[in-house]
Amino acid sequence: MPDQNKVSTVVVDDDVYSRKLLNILLKKFPQINVVGEAANISKALDIIKELKPDSIFLDVKLGTSSGFDLMKKISTESTVIFISASQDYALRAFEVNALDYLKKPIDFERLAITVSRLISKIQDKELPIEKNSANESAIAASSITEAHAGYNHGKVELSKVLNNHLIKDEEDFDDEEDDLELDDGHSNKKALEYDDRLFITVDGISRFIKICTIQCITAEKDYTYLYLEGQKKVLVLKPMLEWEERLPSKYFVRIHRSTIVNLEYVTKVEKWFNSSYHVFVQNVSEPFQMSRRYASKLKERFK
């Protein structure tokens, strides 16, 4: 049952890792109670109709639909906070009376300001109080202080963890925050050797994987997929740019803005149209496109 003394909220995002991350962040605010989450409009409508949450954290893009489509189907009683990897929809969000617009990856202190505004708005509905910038700032400061309490314990704060792009998978996010693997903010920038290992969790089992077993890497919103030799692909919280900077360039090459391949696993390259190519990777059914620009750079490199 929802806690009547807290602001209830539902997280709607088609990306499971974005939902997990936001859930972890929102747990740090004792005034907020996440009562449900959904990956699509249909599921979101069912949850909202049943639970009637005070607020909704709503992703702009929901597969082939959008958060704006969902807004047309719900009542205006729930306060909506839009989230997106792009700033392009901010104006439209405010035109439909959204309380706030958060850009991914979500900054912890920025979220605290949003939470303070949300709490103020709910309080205004239930018990009229004087709302001013000083009151809002006080709530934000209190939210940040409470959210950090019980977490630091000699570790870096959550915002630093997220900004450092630590490798996580879905099982990691189900663990308690204190069990998260942290670093000092520098070790994860170290250049990787071909026989180095990375620590990840797959299907609930934590283990090391060798860099040499990574066949290719593809972009997925704020995350990337690792295609591992003889295994299923694994979603990790690490941007393409960092992979490109850290992986040994003797083996790993970027063939598209969304694809890096390990040359050791490339089985063939075929010409496609408009001076582009199809790159086939071992045990991957569909070829990857190599754009003309990256093909030109690759030819220059291997002359």
User: Using one digit for the tens of pLDDT, what is the confidence trace for 96-125?
Assistant: 889 999 988 888 888 988 998 898 888 766
Determine if the pTM surpasses 0.75: no
Task: Report which residue type is found at 224.
Answer: T
- In degrees and rounded to multiples of 5, residue 194 shows phi and psi of -65, -30
Q: Quick one: CATH architecture of 7-161?
A: 3-Layer(aba) Sandwich (3.40)
pLDDT band at 134 (very low <50, low <70, confident <90, very high): very low
Q: Quick one: CATH architecture of 164-301?
A: Beta Barrel (2.40)
When pLDDT is averaged across residues 193-215 and rounded to a whole number, the result is 81
Q: Where are the domains of the chain?
A: 7-161, 164-301
Domains 7-161 and 164-301 agree in fold: no
User: Residue 15 above 80 pLDDT?
Assistant: yes
Would you give the DSSP letter of residue 71? H
Tens digits of per-residue pLDDT, 260-277?
999 999 999 998 877 789
| Angle in degrees, CA 290, 265, 260, rounded to 5 | 40
